């Protein structure tokens, strides 16, 4: 590498094994372009502050742009020193002005924010795309009944559309969290220097705006040492992963041979090396496993952060790879689950069979007694419970006349007249009962259609916000990249 521009005459040469141990160069490639952008913005700010001559600024900016390839050269602690040394190799000692008024501390925090903000917006767009897939499947499934479960026991009648909407709404909250995380991430630490600012009269707000940030992180200690924006992002990634893991568990259960409501397509499945009859849902199992890695990385990052004194510590360096790994896992999992849901098979007849066999509308029958005959709900609950028990003992279908007669027998002492058989079937038949639930947010197909429409409109807003922000930042950074034609005179255009 030649002379160590960082250690100079202050320290003896570092041991190679020590350098290798502390170096982040293997993980720094993702920061290469942002670090170049930051240095260009900083050199412009130094020139405008009169701290360096314009001709020097032009030379340095030209050299920065000329370093177009990231290389993991031996002897560099990180991307920051690599870039500075490569610029000095091109322009000589004038390249040494690059670090005037800044530190690796504010620079790395800024670079991390530049990378993360783009990743946040990309993930928002992917999640919106996934939610649109859920809504597309829901539109066609508004009247396709299936069981909802509590304690893994058949509970009540819902529809496939209603199940899909439940996961749409869980993910929607994560999209909202990502937008909040984005606005806390898109703040600029530059000008904080090591931990207490600089005597160079840099316009911090102009630097922030030239890099596409909304404003600055004002306090220098906070600017260089806080990684709560990354921890917040890891929490959101964990939340997304937990939701997807639960979806996978639903799919695994409902696609089980003994349940058979869902069918996972062959191209998302594998088979046994020994049992030829097997079809295993390996995508959902892998996604469920990855959730543990995601949450583990989040916990690991918090433990890394928990005992750090204020201002910058090199411990923070070890958090960054965990963030990128976690992001990549979640991004890939969302992509895989989107494709799976698009192609997930649904057996409505099997869903209907399970609902009927397990008296899934017993609660609605109890409510009918209460509302028609003003019997306290707990008493109605006991009546219907006794009716269900006797029907199970006699192996009766709830839609049969025999089951109806058992019901009338059980309510006979409590009411003047038993509901008609037609009324009874209207309640107990899962396909008709969903139309009886007109409460807001219920599985009634009309309600579901309204919810789908509302979610689609919200998705349009999410998508526009993300795309507009991506376009804005790209425009700002393009303007920064063209600045070498406008340095003379020091005027921003």
Q: Which domain holds residue 260?
A: 122-187+231-353+451-470
Strands annotated E in 230-293: 262-263
Are 44 and 182 members of one domain? no
Per-residue model confidence (pLDDT) at position 376 = 93
Q: Indicate if 135 and 41 belong to the same structural domain.
A: no
Q: What is the mean pLDDT of the chain?
A: 91
Q: Phi and psi for 280 in degrees, rounded to 5?
A: -105, 135
Shared-domain flag, residues 330 and 378: no
In-domain check, residue 212: no
Considering the domain boundaries, does residue 443 fall inside one?
no
Note whether residue 58 is domain-resident. Answer: yes
pLDDT of residue 487: 43
Q: Does residue 245 sit in the same domain as residue 324?
A: yes
- Given a contact cutoff of 8 angstroms between Cβ atoms, the answer to whether 204 and 218 are in contact is no
Residue-wise pLDDT for 240-285, tens only, equals 999 999 999 999 999 999 999 999 998 988 877 798 888 888 999 9
- Say what the pLDDT of residue 380 is: 92
- Model confidence pLDDT, tens digit, residues 286-318: 999 999 999 999 999 999 999 898 888 878 888
Residue 488 lies in a domain: no
**Residue 483 within any structural domain of the chain:** no
Claim to verify: residue 138 and residue 240 sit in the same structural domain:
yes
Are residues 238 and 257 part of one domain?
yes
Total number of domains constituting the chain: 3
Nearest Cα to Cα of residue 346 among 60, 106, 146, 50: 146
Alpha carbon distance 97, 231 (integer Å)? 34
- The answer as to whether 193 is a domain residue is no
289 and 421 inside one domain: no
What pLDDT does residue 314 have?
Answer: 75
Per the DSSP assignment, residues forming a β-bridge with 148 are 156
CATH of the domain at 77: 1.10.275.10
Rg (CA), the chain: 31
In a domain, 139, yes or no: yes
Query: For residue 278, how far is the Cα from the chain centroid?
Result: 33
Residues 327 and 378 in one domain: no
Residue 70: predicted pLDDT: 67
CA distance 431 to 443: 11
348 and 366 together in one domain: no
CATH of the domain at 130: 1.20.200.10
User: CA 299, 304, 309, 311: dihedral to nearest 10 degrees?
Assistant: -100
Residues annotated catalytic, as ranges: 151, 272
| 84 and 157 both lie in a single domain | no
Point out the domain boundary residue: 65, 100, 135: 100
Written as tens digits, the pLDDT of the chain (493 aa) is 445 655 555 555 665 565 555 555 566 688 889 999 999 999 999 999 999 999 999 999 999 998 887 666 655 667 878 888 889 989 999 999 999 999 989 999 999 999 999 999 999 999 999 999 999 999 999 999 999 999 999 999 999 999 999 999 999 999 999 999 999 999 999 999 999 999 999 999 999 999 999 999 999 999 999 999 999 999 999 999 999 999 999 999 999 999 999 999 989 888 777 988 888 889 999 999 999 999 999 999 999 999 898 888 878 888 999 999 999 999 999 999 999 999 999 999 999 999 999 999 999 999 999 998 888 999 999 999 999 999 999 999 999 999 999 999 988 866 667 889 999 999 999 999 999 999 999 999 999 999 999 999 999 999 999 999 999 999 999 999 888 545 445 444 3
Query: Are 275 and 389 part of one and the same domain?
Result: no
**Distance of alpha carbon 61 from alpha carbon 483, whole angstroms:** 9
pTM of the model: 0.91
pLDDT at 68: 82
Residue 5 lies in a domain: no
166 shares its domain with 263: yes
Predicted local confidence at residue 277, as pLDDT: 84
């Amino acid at each position: 590498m030649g002379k160590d521009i960082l250690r100079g005459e202050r320290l003896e040469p570092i041991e190679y094994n020590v350098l290798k141990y502390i170096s982040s160069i293997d993980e720094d490639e993702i920061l290469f372009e942002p670090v170049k952008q930051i240095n260009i913005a900083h050199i412009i700010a130094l020139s405008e502050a009169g701290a360096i001559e314009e001709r020097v600024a032009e030379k340095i900016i030209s050299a920065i742009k000329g370093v177009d390839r990231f290389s993991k050269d031996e002897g560099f602690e990180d991307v920051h020193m690599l870039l500075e040394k490569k610029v000095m190799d091109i322009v000589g000692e004038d390249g040494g002005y690059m670090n005037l008024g800044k530190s690796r501390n504010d620079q790395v925090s800024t670079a991390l924010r530049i990378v993360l903000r783009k990743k946040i917006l990309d993930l928002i767009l992917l999640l919106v795309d996934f939610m649109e897939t859920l809504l597309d499947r829901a539109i066609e499934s508004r009247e396709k009944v299936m069981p909802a479960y509590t304690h893994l026991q058949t509970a009540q009648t819902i529809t496939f559309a209603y199940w899909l909407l439940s996961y749409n709404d869980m993910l929607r909250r994560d999209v909202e969290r990502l937008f909040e995380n984005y606005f806390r991430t898109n703040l600029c630490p530059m000008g904080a220097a090591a931990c207490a600012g600089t005597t160079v009269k840099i316009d911090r707000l102009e630097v922030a705006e030239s890099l596409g940030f909304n404003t600055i992180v004002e306090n220098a200690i906070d600017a260089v040492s806080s990684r709560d924006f990354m921890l917040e992002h890891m929490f959101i990634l964990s939340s997304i992963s937990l939701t997807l893991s639960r979806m996978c568990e639903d799919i695994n259960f409902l696609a089980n041979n003994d349940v058979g409501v869902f069918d996972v397509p062959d191209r998302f499945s594998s088979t046994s090396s020994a049992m030829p009859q097997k079809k295993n849902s390996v995508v959902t199992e892998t996604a469920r496993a990855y959730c543990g890695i995601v949450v583990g990385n989040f916990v690991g990052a918090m433990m890394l952060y928990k005992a750090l004194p204020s201002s910058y510590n090199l411990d923070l360096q070890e958090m960054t790879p965990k963030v990128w790994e976690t992001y990549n896992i979640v991004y890939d999992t969302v992509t895989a689950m989107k494709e799976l849901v698009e192609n997930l098979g649904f057996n409505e007849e099997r869903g209907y069979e399970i609902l009927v066999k397990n008296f899934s509308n017993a609660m609605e029958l109890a409510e009918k007694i209460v509302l028609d005959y003003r019997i306290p709900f707990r008493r109605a609950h006991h009546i219907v419970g006794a009716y269900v028990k006797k029907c199970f003992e006699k192996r009766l279908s709830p839609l049969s006349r025999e089951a109806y007669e058992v019901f009338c027998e059980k309510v006979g002492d409590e009411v003047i007249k038993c509901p008609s058989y037609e009324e009874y079937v209207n309640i107990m038949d899962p396909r008709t009962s969903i139309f009886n639930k007109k409460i807001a947010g219920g599985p009634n197909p009309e309600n579901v259609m309204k919810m789908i429409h509302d979610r689609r409109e919200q998705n349009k807003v999410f998508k526009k916000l993300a795309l507009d922000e991506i376009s804005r930042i790209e425009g700002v950074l393009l303007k920064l990249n063209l600045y070498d034609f406008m340095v003379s005179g020091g005027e921003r255009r």
